[in-house]
Amino acid sequence: MRRMNATYAADNMTQRQRLFALTTKWTEADLTRRLANGWSVATKLAHLAFWDHYCLALIESWESTGFTLSSTETDAINKAARFLSRGIPPGAAVELVRAAAEAVDRKLESITPDLEAAIEASGRVRLLRRAIHRREHLDQIESALGGSEHGA
C-alpha cells in the first residue's frame, strides 16, 4: 500500500496520539468548560470530528469521481457545526473526535500520489495535514484548561 507524504503522516499521527492522550484524562468538568466564542471543550472536539469527517468525505468522493475544487463558506459551516455540537453529550464528542481522526488518517495514508498532488496544487494542504487543525484547537483547549496536566 502506498503511503502519503511521510511528514504529513507522522504529524497527523503525533497530533492524533496527543488527542487520544488528552481526551483520556479530561474530566466531565473539563469537557464542559467554556471557551471563547460560545464553544466548550466538548463542542470544540465535535468541531474537530466534523472537519475530519468532512475531509474523509471529500477524499472518498474524489477517489470515485476525480478531484474537483469547490468553495466552502467555512465561517457559516463552523457556526452551524457549533450549534449542532451543543446537542452532543461530552463523552460522545470524545468518541466522535477519536473515530474521525483515526478514519481520516487511515484514508489519507492510502491516497494515490495523483490525488495527493492535486490537493497540494489546489492550495488545500490542510486537507492532507489534519495535524494543523488538531494542533490549533488542542493548544487552545490546553491553554483554557491551564496546561497539559489538567484533568490528570
Domains of the chain: 6-145 (1.20.120)
pLDDT number for residue 36? 82
Here the cell at position 81 is 457545526
Cα–Cα dist 114/67, whole Å: 9
Task: Give the alpha-carbon dihedral of 66, 69, 70, 73, to 10 degrees.
Answer: 130
DSSP per residue over 42-102, as a string?
Answer: HHHHHHHHHHHHHHHHHHHHHHHH--------HHHHHHHHHHHHTTS-HHHHHHHHHHHHH
Q: Which residues pair with 145 in a beta bridge?
A: none
Three-class DSSP labels, 12-34: HHHHHHHHHHHHHHCCHHHHCCE
Q: End-to-end CA distance of the chain: give it in Å, rounded.
A: 38
* pLDDT (tens place) for every residue of the chain, 152 residues total: 556 788 999 999 999 999 999 999 999 999 999 998 889 999 999 999 999 999 999 999 999 999 998 888 889 999 999 999 999 999 999 999 999 999 999 999 999 999 999 999 999 999 999 999 999 999 999 999 986 445 44
Residue 150 in contact with residue 142, Cβ under 8 Å?
A: yes
Q: What is the pLDDT of residue 88?
A: 97
